[in-house]
Amino acid sequence: MTALANAIVIDNIGMVFGAGLGAVRALDGVSLEIGSNEFFTLLGPSGCGKTTLLRLIAGFEQPSTGSISLYGQRLEGLMPFERPVNTVFQSYALFPHMSVAQNIAFGLEMQRKPRLEVQKIVADMLELVQLTGFEARKPAQLSGGQQQRVALARALANRPKVLLLDESLSALDAKLRKEMQLELKRLQLETGITFVFVTHDQEEALTMSDRIAVMKNGKLEQIGTPTEIYDFPRSRYVADFIGETNFLTGIAEANGLRLPDSQWLEVTHSRPPGSSVDVAVRPERAQIARDTNGLNAVVREVVYVGTDTVVYLEIAKEVFRVRMQNHGGAAKMVSVGDQIKLVIPPNAVRILEAES
Amino acid sequence: MKRSSLVGRYALISPAAILIFVFMLLPMLLMALMSWLEAGQFGGVKWGSYTPEAYLKFLFDRDLSDHLVFNTDYLSIFSRSFQLAGITTFLTLLTAFPVAFYIALQTPKHRTWLMLLITIPFWTNLLVRTYAWILLLRNGGLIDSSLHSLGVLNTPINAMYTPIAVQIGLVYAFLPFMVLPIYTSLEKLDWRLLEAAYDLYANRWQTMRRIVIPLAAPGMVAGCILVFVPALGTFFIPELLGGAKTLMIGNLIQQQFGVSRNWPFGAALSFALLAVVLMFMLIYALRFRGKGSLTQ
């Protein structure tokens, strides 16, 4: 990270809305650095403060405490129109009285770019978002996906140093959203602009991001690449929010955990003996078998989901899911009520931070 | 089947059609007919004797030898009326827009209260409220006496019975008619568009000019029509505040049916006014044709 130039440095930002008893702390001591040309995602459920953070970068809100700088320039006191940052809004916020071309040209005209240059950029942008020929249309005459692409073109036309995207895909249907995810990633690579993307959709975050910041109640929970976040979740919250996970709780002993039903789970850890430890295991990292060493479990349900089969097991009075690929034929050997062995490789077990 | 449904359809619209015919079209036709008749000696008209005299009287006088002489008296009343109504429209637009904008920015609960304040004057008769302006504007009235006691002025303000007094009265009377339609169009405005404009490097003034005003334009135009047309035709505001010196078309028409007893001339004046107003409406309709959908 240190080798890359930092596009955005967010230093100890706090944000409080309202005052007195009704005050809401939207952000609490958030510090993070976003690298140049990075596709950075703020991920979390609604109300976690991710949109507030984005609005602070755009300049629509002023932080209660802390500072934000952009390529070394402090942003305090700068109005949104004074910041080299553009936003793609959740609602797109296209100007309804202007044509597609006028919408895209708006930011350039406000910066007093020469007319010919504006025309050229508008044409380039329309080509980039594959809407050539739609110049004269009004936003009301476009589909949701087309409006989304106009909003994107309108923001990108200004060649901002940073592009902010506020849940920009959430209004689209699933198929279009998938297409736009790839499209956005392609545009980010083509333009080399730093993207800061806000979403509550973990799959979207994993697909597009270089790095993800998972947020919870106005605080950062974990920052990392999609692989890091998925494979090494730090807390129960992150593990639960990203993908499917099984949780087990046991009492720490040397080289393993004693589960509530006295079974032994082997794992290396550094917790003091006798303490309660939460662990997470991804469903696809565990296996089931009959004639090996493993944990005793009972098959409660077998669900076929196309490429995979998900087997729901009961172990230590908890539900444990195992996801198996169907092409190996392994799933065929289990049926409901079977007593089987659950094999969890020690390197698939993630020790979670104790909940505060 | 088809025939009966057609009859049914006519039956359904007939109450409205009859109402419009009896209370709108018929009186208008009567007025049109009257404007082409000779005036009766004691008011009313002489039925059957047709003459364009009433329309000629608007532009010409007859000298002693019965020649037509061009006379600008009535034209000047028309032009003064247009001037007063035009300035009224301009001033109300200028004051109403910030008011409507401010109200539209408030929380829904506050908006309701503020809109109530705007409409409260309607609960009292406009005639009474215009009389109240006499108390304010006359020499020795509230404004005059407070300016004197503050030592700002030591001569009487002499505001009553001037075009300025009429202008003040007109702006006061018609301001709510400008606020309401502008507020209605601003209330529907998506404020996120303002953030988008800020985000795209537009400062406050550019955002106002390029985003807010174009989107509020239908309300502003509606307000201008709602103010300009009735302001052109008012008669008691100039009568009470302007005295005999600041006649408007409304006063002139009223006089023809009252003291002057020249009903045909009154009818002709009304039609001349109607023609001008319709012309304005036509220009508006052509200018904004098919653009109504933009506000949605």
Residue B142 has pLDDT above 90, yes or no: no
Digit-coded pLDDT (tens) for B25-61: 999 999 999 899 988 877 788 888 888 888 888 888 8
Residue B242 shares a structural domain with residue B296: yes
**A91, A97, A155 member nearest B192 (Cβ):** A91
Count of CB atoms within 10 A of residue B96's CB? 26
Residue B244 shares a structural domain with residue B187: yes
Residue B184 shares a structural domain with residue B155: no
Q: What is the DSSP letter of A327?
A: T
**Nearest Cα residue to B131 out of B96, B160, B156:** B160
- pLDDT at position B62, please? 82
Residue B271 lies in a domain: yes
Flag if B195 and A80 touch (Cβ within 8 Å).
Answer: yes
- Residue A61 C-alpha from the chain's centroid: 23
> Which pair of tokens denotes residue A289?
């078998």
Residue B150 shares a structural domain with residue B191: no
Residue B61 lies in a domain: no
pLDDT in tens, chain A (356 residues): 444 578 999 999 999 998 877 888 899 999 999 999 999 999 999 889 999 999 999 999 999 999 999 998 899 889 999 999 999 998 899 999 999 999 999 999 999 999 999 999 999 999 888 899 999 999 999 998 899 999 999 999 999 999 999 988 877 788 878 888 888 888 888 888 999 999 999 989 998 999 999 999 999 999 999 999 999 999 999 999 998 999 999 999 988 899 988 899 988 888 889 899 999 999 999 988 888 888 999 999 999 888 888 999 999 888 999 998 887 666 667 888 889 999 999 899 999 987 65
Flag if B200 and A140 touch (Cβ within 8 Å).
Answer: no
Count of CB atoms within 10 A of residue A190's CB? 10
Residue B267 lies in a domain: yes
Digit-coded pLDDT (tens) for B80-117: 899 999 999 999 999 999 999 999 999 999 999 999 99
Residue B228 shares a structural domain with residue B139: no
- Give A58's contacts in chain B (Cβ within 8 Å): 199
- pLDDT at position A168, please? 83
Q: Is A49 left (phi over 0), alpha (psi -120 to 50) or beta?
A: left
Integer-rounded Cα radius of gyration of chain B: 24
Digit-coded pLDDT (tens) for B71-85: 888 888 888 899 999
Residue B237 shares a structural domain with residue B279: yes
- Report the relative pairing of strands A219-224 and A339-343 from DSSP bridges: unpaired
- pLDDT at position B267, please? 92
ipTM: 0.82
- pLDDT at position A330, please? 63
Residue B278 shares a structural domain with residue B223: yes
- Give A138's contacts in chain B (Cβ within 8 Å): 294
- Give A91's contacts in chain B (Cβ within 8 Å): 190, 192
Residue B245 has pLDDT above 80, yes or no: no
Whether residue A318 contacts residue A248, with contact meaning beta carbons closer than 8 Å, is answered with yes
Residue B110 lies in a domain: no
Nearest CA distance, A337 vs chain B (angstrom): 57
Flag if A97 and B214 touch (Cβ within 8 Å).
Answer: yes
Provide the total of helices (H) and of strands (E) in chain A, helices listed first: 8, 20
Whether residue B211 contacts residue A103, with contact meaning beta carbons closer than 8 Å, is answered with no
Flag if A106 and B210 touch (Cβ within 8 Å).
Answer: yes
Residue B265 lies in a domain: yes
Whether residue B201 contacts residue B145, with contact meaning beta carbons closer than 8 Å, is answered with no
Residue B135 shares a structural domain with residue B198: no
From CA A353, how far away is CA A214, in angstroms rounded?
15
Digit-coded pLDDT (tens) for A310-320: 999 999 888 99
Residue B183 shares a structural domain with residue B296: yes
Residue B136 lies in a domain: yes
- pLDDT at position B2, please? 62
A91, A94, A95, A152, best to mutate vs chain B, most B CBs in 10 Å: A95
Residue B130 shares a structural domain with residue B205: no
pTM of the model: 0.79
From CA A236, how far away is CA A353, in angstroms rounded?
7
Nearest CA distance, A101 vs chain B (angstrom): 14
Residue B278 lies in a domain: yes
- pLDDT at position B290, please? 53
- Tell the burial category of A192 from Cβ atoms under 10 Å away from its Cβ (0-12, 13-18, 19+): exposed
Output the CA–CA distances (angstroms, integers) from residue A305 to A245, A246, A325, B43, in the order listed: 17, 18, 10, 95
Residue B194 shares a structural domain with residue B235: yes
From CA A301, how far away is CA A307, in angstroms rounded?
17
**B199, B203, B293 member nearest A86 (Cβ):** B199
- Tell the burial category of B125 from Cβ atoms under 10 Å away from its Cβ (0-12, 13-18, 19+): exposed
b/e map A96-109, b = 16+ CB within 10 Å? bbbbbbbbbbbbbb
Residue B142 lies in a domain: yes
- pLDDT at position B295, please? 37
Range of the domain at B127: 120-160
From CA B120, how far away is CA B129, in angstroms rounded?
12
From CA B39, how far away is CA B56, in angstroms rounded?
13
- pLDDT at position A2, please? 43
Residue B261 shares a structural domain with residue B220: yes
Flag if B296 and A79 touch (Cβ within 8 Å).
Answer: no
B194, B200, B205, B288, best to mutate vs chain A, most A CBs in 10 Å: B200
Angle between helices A174-191 and A144-156 (to 10 degrees): 20
Residue B289 has pLDDT above 80, yes or no: no
Q: Which amino acid, one-letter code, is at B138?
A: R
Residue B250 has pLDDT above 50, yes or no: yes
Give me the CATH number covering residue B255: 1.10.3720.10
Number of domains in chain B: 2
From CA A199, how far away is CA A177, in angstroms rounded?
12
